[in-house]
Amino acid sequence: MQVTKTFMGSLWIFLLIPADVEGQCTKPTMTENAVIHEDYILTEIFDEKSTIKVKCHPGYEPTSTSPRRLTCENGQWIPRPEKFTCQKKTCGNPGDIENGIYNYLNGNEFGDTIKAVCKTGYYILGSETRVCMANREWDGQPPVCEVVKCGPPPDVPNGQTRLPLEEEYDYGQVVQYVCADGYTLLGGTVHCLQNGSWSSTLRCIVVDCKRPDIANARRIEGGSGPYRYRDTLRYECNVGYRMTNNTDRTVCLEMGWSPTLVCEEVKCPSLKSTNVIITEGGVGPYRHGSVVRYQCQTGHALVGDSQLKCGLDGQWSSDPVCLKVTECRQLSHTNASIIKGGDGPYKVNDVLEYKCPAENKMIGNPELKCQSDGRWSSDPPYCEGNSSGWETTLGVCATVFCGGVVGGGAGAYWWNKKNSRKTASAVEGEDINLNSDRDPECVIQSSGTQTQTA
Ligand SMILES: *[C@@H]1O[C@H](CO)[C@@H](O)[C@H](O)[C@H]1NC(C)=O
Ligand SMILES: *[C@@H]1O[C@H](CO)[C@@H](O)[C@H](O)[C@H]1NC(C)=O
Ligand SMILES: *[C@@H]1O[C@H](CO)[C@@H](O)[C@H](O)[C@H]1NC(C)=O
Ligand SMILES: *[C@@H]1O[C@H](CO)[C@@H](O)[C@H](O)[C@H]1NC(C)=O
């Protein structure tokens, strides 16, 4: 009895000793999802040198560096319990689904879910989702993707299927129809849809277009009707009219003729040129054949015609162009010589001065000015009469007029020998004295002795 008492007393003492007292260990505190083997679940105090097995919760496995056992040494678990860690187990490939795929909603670890999805036109048979289990397997059975089926295709009034009907059709299958005589097949195809119905926009109808009534046009291609589907007509607009849409063909379609042909009157656009003064025909609309006359504003020169005509194409025969003048054009050739002003280009306000040989009379104005309209103030002058005697060939008699005094039928006849300046004077009807050594001169017969040196 005494012994028992003493034993009980020491047991109490033993129980009150703190855990890290040398030689004994308390139950280890494990990391998440780790547990000690169920054999020790009820043990609270472990003796020195005792060894316990540790493991993970179902669905978890020890990490590769985790120890498998813990040993109580000097009141401590060795290795330390926190060295034992657990990780989720992973599931393998769930396999392929014909006409579908698995979507991984999170991953392939214990507790994760995958979802089977079928291709368009297929539906799922079986469980859509599978969960990764503790045994590394995906739960349940793989689902099956079944093709959507359609029943017999729809009736098309006045039409029938090209092939005999079947009980069922798979998703995507197309059924072809033919129409009864005189009917036109319109619309798309008839095919089995993903919801098991048929697409059915197909129709067999009678297309009958009335004869078109197109103002200001005449038919140049195609018969006079009746018109059936896709019959084509071609029209030509009357003179002064044209098609609005660059097309002269129209086709008989279900809703009638397309496009609708319209002949509109040809009109030319308003004139938009600047610096133009319209002198005639300025008010539109400008129909085919309309004529507009115009001139340029001061300081501008006309390039091209001063008259425009509106053509059958709705275009003006030309564009009125009035260019701002900065230059006068080259002058026409003359036998008067320029003695001031020289060669071009000629700017506005430039002045040219001409001269004729003394024995010739100048016809026209000796002075020309380049005006602000790009024109010269006048045409260049020329020198009247035949070539100067000085230009004539040796031994040839020439007729000249003496400058400024021609008149009354009088003439002066003279001859010259170029270079030697040998000349002779003569009056009409007389022979020329080739041996004279006088300078060239004009002898005005009617005025007696009046002479002029050339
Ligand atoms: C099937 O789908 C088509 C096209 O998406 C739709 O027009 C039709 O109403 C659907 N049919 C049924 C029975 O749901
Ligand atoms: C012009 O013709 C085209 C086809 O050729 C058509 O699509 C369009 O609607 C027509 N436009 C007009 C204004 O008629
Ligand atoms: C010019 O000379 C020709 C002969 O070469 C003559 O017939 C003609 O009358 C002359 N004209 C004038 C205007 O003198
Ligand atoms: C000068 O030209 C004019 C006109 O072209 C002509 O009539 C005249 O005979 C010519 N005079 C001379 C001198 O060449």
pLDDT of residue 184: 92
Looking at the predicted structure, is the pLDDT value of residue 268 above 80?
yes
Looking at the predicted structure, is the pLDDT value of residue 217 above 60?
yes
Output 325 or 353, whichever has higher pLDDT.
353
Nearest listed ligand to the Cα of residue 154: 1
- What distances in angstroms separate CA 249 from CA 176, 186, 206, 259, 414, one per listed residue? 31, 21, 22, 8, 83
Does the beta carbon of 387 sit less than 6 angstroms from any atom of ligand 4? Answer: yes
Question: Residue 155 C-alpha to ligand 4 middle, in angstroms?
Answer: 101
Question: Residue 135 C-alpha to ligand 4 middle, in angstroms?
Answer: 126
- DSSP three-state, residue 139: coil
The 3-state DSSP composition of the chain as helix, strand, coil percent (nearest 5) reads: 5, 40, 55
Ligand 3 nearest-atom number relative to CA 411: 14
pLDDT of residue 334: 77
Question: Residue 339 C-alpha to ligand 3 middle, in angstroms?
Answer: 27
Cα–Cα dist 423/443, whole Å: 12
Question: Residue 382 C-alpha to ligand 4 middle, in angstroms?
Answer: 6
Does the beta carbon of 383 sit less than 6 angstroms from any atom of ligand 4? Answer: yes
Question: Residue 213 C-alpha to ligand 2 middle, in angstroms?
Answer: 18
pLDDT of residue 22: 66
- What are phi and psi for residue 323, nearest 5 degrees? -90, 140
Does the beta carbon of 193 sit less than 6 angstroms from any atom of ligand 1? Answer: yes
Cα–Cα dist 418/31, whole Å: 137
DSSP letter, residue 198: B
Cα–Cα dist 425/74, whole Å: 163
Cα–Cα dist 241/250, whole Å: 17
Question: Residue 197 C-alpha to ligand 1 middle, in angstroms?
Answer: 6
Q: Do residues 27 and 40 touch, judged by C-beta distance below 8 A?
A: yes
pLDDT digits (tens, 9 = 90+) for 133-164: 999 999 999 999 999 999 999 999 999 999 99
Ligand 4 nearest-atom number relative to CA 388: 13
pLDDT of residue 196: 94
Secondary structure (DSSP) of 274-295 = SSEEEEE--SS-EETT-EEEEE
Buried b (16+ CB within 10 A) or exposed e, 174-189: ebebebeeebbbeeee
Least confident of 184-193, 237-246, 383-392: 383-392
pLDDT of residue 410: 26
Output 356 or 61, whichever has higher pLDDT.
61
Least confident of 149-153, 216-220, 394-398: 394-398
pLDDT of residue 333: 73
Strands, E assignment, 177-310: 177-179, 184-186, 190-191, 203-205, 217-221, 232-237, 241-243, 249-253, 256-258, 263-265, 267-268, 276-280, 286-287, 291-296, 300-303, 307-309
By residue count, the chain amounts to: 454
Q: Closest residue (by CA) to atom 11 of ligand 1?
A: 197
pLDDT tier at 346, thresholds 50, 70, 90: confident
Q: Which tokens sit at 205?
A: 């109808």
Alpha carbons within 13 A on the beta-carbon side of 262: 7
What is the arithmetic mean of pLDDT over 37-64?
93
Q: Closest residue (by CA) to atom 12 of ligand 2?
A: 245
Output the pTM of the full model.
0.48
pLDDT tier at 386, thresholds 50, 70, 90: low
* Region class of 200: left (phi > 0), else alpha (psi between -120 and 50), else beta: beta
Does the beta carbon of 399 sit less than 6 angstroms from any atom of ligand 3? Answer: yes
Mutational test site, ligand 4, from 333, 361, 383, 414, max ligand atoms within 8 Å of CB: 383
Question: Residue 151 C-alpha to ligand 1 middle, in angstroms?
Answer: 14
Question: Residue 413 C-alpha to ligand 3 middle, in angstroms?
Answer: 11
Question: Residue 195 C-alpha to ligand 1 middle, in angstroms?
Answer: 6
pLDDT of residue 368: 92
Looking at the predicted structure, is the pLDDT value of residue 412 above 50?
no
pLDDT over 90, % of the chain: 53
Which residues have CB under 6 Å of ligand 2? 245, 247, 259
Does the beta carbon of 381 sit less than 6 angstroms from any atom of ligand 4? Answer: no
pLDDT digits (tens, 9 = 90+) for 82-136: 999 999 999 999 999 999 999 999 999 999 999 999 999 999 999 999 999 999 9
pLDDT tier at 305, thresholds 50, 70, 90: confident
Ligand 4 nearest-atom number relative to CA 360: 13
Cα–Cα dist 421/440, whole Å: 7
pLDDT tier at 369, thresholds 50, 70, 90: very high
Rounded to 5 degrees, what angle do the CA atoms 358, 359, 364 make?
75
Cα–Cα dist 383/227, whole Å: 81
Mutational test site, ligand 2, from 214, 232, 244, 245, max ligand atoms within 8 Å of CB: 245
Ligand 2 nearest-atom number relative to CA 262: 14
Least confident of 30-39, 131-140, 277-286, 399-408: 399-408
pLDDT of residue 331: 74
Strand partners, 88: 60
Question: Residue 153 C-alpha to ligand 1 middle, in angstroms?
Answer: 14
Q: Closest residue (by CA) to atom 7 of ligand 3?
A: 399
Q: Select from 122, 268, 139, 282 the least CA-distant residue to 196.
A: 122
Cα–Cα dist 328/345, whole Å: 7
Looking at the predicted structure, is the pLDDT value of residue 77 above 60?
yes
Average pLDDT in the chain = 80
Nearest listed ligand to the Cα of residue 245: 2
pLDDT of residue 343: 65
